[in-house]
Amino acid sequence: MRITVLAGGVGAARFLRGLRAAVPDADVTVIGNTGDDFTPFGLPVCPDLDTVMYTLGGGISEEQGWGRAGESHAVLGELAAYGAGPAWFGLGDLDIATHILRARLLAEGLPLSAVTKRLCERWQPGVTLLPMSDDPVRTHVTVQLDTGEQELHFQEWWVRLHAAVPARKIEAVGAAQARPAPGVLEALADADFVLFPPSNPVVSIGVILAVPGIAKAVAAQTVVGVSPIIGGAPVRGMADACLAAIGVQTSAAAVAAHYGPGLLDGWLVDEQDKEAVDAPELAGIEVRSRPLYMTDVAASAEIASAAVDLALELRR
Amino acid sequence: MRITVLAGGVGAARFLRGLRAAVPDADVTVIGNTGDDFTPFGLPVCPDLDTVMYTLGGGISEEQGWGRAGESHAVLGELAAYGAGPAWFGLGDLDIATHILRARLLAEGLPLSAVTKRLCERWQPGVTLLPMSDDPVRTHVTVQLDTGEQELHFQEWWVRLHAAVPARKIEAVGAAQARPAPGVLEALADADFVLFPPSNPVVSIGVILAVPGIAKAVAAQTVVGVSPIIGGAPVRGMADACLAAIGVQTSAAAVAAHYGPGLLDGWLVDEQDKEAVDAPELAGIEVRSRPLYMTDVAASAEIASAAVDLALELRR
């Protein structure tokens, strides 16, 4: 069985860990969002790719959901002593090694997809991890500050401002010019079906879909998604702030309607949201309700298993 | 009093700490060797500049003489787990922060001299620290290996091979095309005198002198040096291996003769080497003997004080 998954960070990583447990023999390709990438201290950080890689490779901090277990912060403390910013972005020493190696490999001329492959040789995530594109795409958020309207890098809005300032606009800068990374379109075309894990529909899945060619390749597939919204609130992160920016309600049904039946064939919602099962605005999308909290690997595996079963059932 | 000092690493740093204690009101400019610079893991490391900066700034590991006090090695362990080399070059986490910041500032287009100034804003070394050049100069060592003659970066010979394989040739690659960094020639011209600390005459002082214009500016000055050789052996490091490569004996007198009376006006040797005081080959160089072991800051200050006194006495 070949499965291709579009992935953001923590939610996707936990879902993928469940998917691997549920269908250990499946050939899984993960297309990771790179719109969150940025370069604090000149280090090329790929938060979503790394969260997936560390989680599936057994190196993740379980408490945080991102970053490394057993992390220390000697380098960051020193950079602060130099007065070098950004002071608001926490990078651990173990994590920094990944970015130092990535920086060197990129400087040697390797594309991000080849760099990611090299890093995965160590972590052995058990999936093929691809960046959505080797070309730079940067998610920018336009906010209204006291000093006027300002366009911020996503991380500055998300991490420094905790998404507390309303976003007026969210834009994937560079997406229109980006090409899918090698293997991305093939993985979408060759898969038995495509899954959307419970990732942020705007800044994770939405940004991946903004790379020309990807949305069309996804739409040609059987697609089953898992709602990142439970009971009208994001399970994790601040997806509500992102949905508000694009005028979509924070509800499991509204997110599915946003993707639409042209893209989505099946949609898993939590039991709290079972009214979505018969929602008229979701005509053309097969909606099922079940428990969606990924409390541990076993729970995540059951959710992944339900998504796989629904995809096989709906397969065109 | 204006003093300009040509500097290698540990010996120079300890001498400078003594000099600062001996003449606290002096305006000291340090011209640091950059031939040892290299980029393990893509990080731009300047061993000599950093040893001087950390030592005078109070951050040095006193036991090692180089690197940071209270150092940890999380990043290096991770890079090893990735199989990324060079495995033979130890870089600590605190030290790595310096190189991350240097990499970013260089990438932003700042020349090394401006980057060094920025780093010194934190360390406040109490001297003006200048790289000899903003242009890349790399000391290469040609050795005979079982596999044939090979040209190695200095650090590979020095750190990986412990200089145990005889050097056939030592060359400052790029020196002929390098220009002195801004302020270097001015500091030499404007100084009351120039001091050579007990640094390696070949790969430290010798490489600085290889940058066009510097040797001439030094020769125009009153110059007093402190012998790095005591009793026929280097006090620290493997200067004997470097001297052998250029056909100079490992003795205090031979090093002074190598510099020659055209460059050197005064030369301090250890009491063990007092026969150098009347050595006929050192005609034209005023040689004095005194204890030269820099056992602590007080001892280093007495040596520096003797060098200053001799320079003032010989001042042209």
Q: Do B75 and A100 touch (CB under 8 A)?
A: yes
Residue A238: how many other CB atoms lie within 10 Å: 17
CA dihedral B293, B295, B301, B306 (to 10 degrees): -20
Number of H helices, E strands in chain A: 12, 12
What ipTM does this complex have? Answer: 0.91
Q: What is the pLDDT of residue B85?
A: 83
Inside any domain, residue A86: yes
Q: How far apart are CA B32 and CA A203, in angstroms?
A: 48
- Is B87 an interface residue toward A (CB < 8 Å)? no
For A173, the enclosing helix (H) or strand (E) is strand A167-173
- Please determine, for residue A207, whether its predicted confidence score (pLDDT) is greater than 90: yes
**Listed residue (A247, A27, A210, A245) closest to A126, CA to CA:** A27
Q: What is the pLDDT of residue B316?
A: 62
Alpha carbons within 13 angstroms on the beta-carbon side of residue A158 total 23
Q: What is the pLDDT of residue A316?
A: 62
Q: What is the pLDDT of residue B237?
A: 85
- Of A201-210, A251-260, B126-135, B229-238, the poorest mean pLDDT is in B229-238
Minimal CA separation from B96 to chain A, in Å = 7
Averaged pLDDT, groups of 10, chain B, 316 residues long: 98 98 98 97 97 98 96 97 91 98 97 98 98 98 92 94 94 97 98 98 98 98 98 91 95 97 97 96 97 97 98 90
Inside any domain, residue B145: no
> Chains A, B: CB contacts under 8 A, how many?
85
Enumerate the residues of chain A whose CB falls inside 8 A of the CB of residue B121. Answer: 83
- Is B110 an interface residue toward A (CB < 8 Å)? no
- pTM > 0.90: yes or no: yes
Q: What is the pLDDT of residue B280?
A: 94
> Taking phi first (over 0 means left), then psi (-120 to 50 degrees means alpha), and beta for anything else, what does residue A273 get?
alpha
- Is B106 an interface residue toward A (CB < 8 Å)? no
Q: Do B98 and A84 touch (CB under 8 A)?
A: no
pLDDT digits (tens, 9 = 90+) for A81-134: 999 988 888 899 999 999 999 999 999 999 999 999 999 999 999 999 999 999
- The answer to whether B292 touches B298, Cβ cutoff 8 Å, is no
**Listed residue (B267, B263, B276) closest to B216, CA to CA:** B263
Distance (Å) of CA B199 to CA A175, B31, B33, B204 = 55, 12, 10, 6
Interface test with B, best of A54, A91, A100, A115 (most B CBs within 10 A): A100
Q: How far apart are CA A160 and CA A139, in angstroms?
A: 15
Q: Which of A79, A82, A100 is nearest residue B43 as measured by Cβ atoms?
A: A100
Q: How far apart are CA B234 and CA B241, in angstroms?
A: 10
Inside any domain, residue A77: yes
Give percent above pLDDT 90 in chain A.
95
Structural domain including A108 reads 29-131
Q: How many domains does chain B have?
A: 1
Strands (DSSP E) contained in chain B are 2-7, 27-32, 128-131, 138-145, 148-153, 167-173, 193-196, 223-226, 229-230, 233-234, 266-269, 286-289
**Listed residue (A7, A39, A35) closest to A20, CA to CA:** A7
Interface test with A, best of B43, B45, B82 (most A CBs within 10 A): B82
Confidence of residue A237 (pLDDT cuts 50, 70, 90): confident
Enumerate the residues of chain B whose CB falls inside 8 A of the CB of residue A81. Answer: 97, 122
Inside any domain, residue B304: no
Enumerate the residues of chain B whose CB falls inside 8 A of the CB of residue A122. Answer: 81-83
- Is B103 an interface residue toward A (CB < 8 Å)? yes
- The answer to whether A205 touches A160, Cβ cutoff 8 Å, is no
- The answer to whether A170 touches A164, Cβ cutoff 8 Å, is no
Q: What is the pLDDT of residue B87?
A: 84
Q: Do A75 and B82 touch (CB under 8 A)?
A: no
Q: How far apart are CA A104 and CA A95, in angstroms?
A: 15
Return the DSSP state at A84.
-
CA–chain centroid gap for B179, Å, is 18
Write the burial class of residue B249 (CB in 10 Å: 0-12 exposed, 13-18 middle, 19+ buried): middle
- The answer to whether A282 touches A257, Cβ cutoff 8 Å, is yes
Instruction: Please state whether the peptide bond connecting residue A47 to the residue before it is cis, i.e. omega within 30 degrees of 0.
Output: no
- Is B124 an interface residue toward A (CB < 8 Å)? no
Q: Do A78 and B84 touch (CB under 8 A)?
A: no
Q: Do B100 and A98 touch (CB under 8 A)?
A: no
- Please work out, in degrees rounded to the nearest 5, the angle formed at the alpha carbon of residue A10 by the alpha carbons of A154 and A54: 105
Q: What is the pLDDT of residue B100?
A: 98
Q: What is the pLDDT of residue B9?
A: 96
- The answer to whether B202 touches B245, Cβ cutoff 8 Å, is yes
Inside any domain, residue B108: yes
Q: Which of B76, B84, B97 is nearest residue A79 as measured by Cβ atoms?
A: B97
Q: How far apart are CA A43 and CA A155, in angstroms?
A: 14
Which two structure tokens, joined as six digits, stand for B169? 């040739």
Q: Do A74 and B83 touch (CB under 8 A)?
A: no
Return the CATH number at A105: 1.10.8.240
Q: How far apart are CA A91 and CA A96, in angstroms?
A: 6
Q: Where are the alpha helices (DSSP H) in chain A?
A: 10-22, 47-57, 74-81, 93-107, 112-123, 154-155, 184-190, 205-209, 214-219, 239-245, 252-259, 297-314
Which two structure tokens, joined as six digits, stand for A164? 């507390």
Minimal CA separation from A263 to chain B, in Å = 39
Enumerate the residues of chain A whose CB falls inside 8 A of the CB of residue B103. Answer: 42, 103
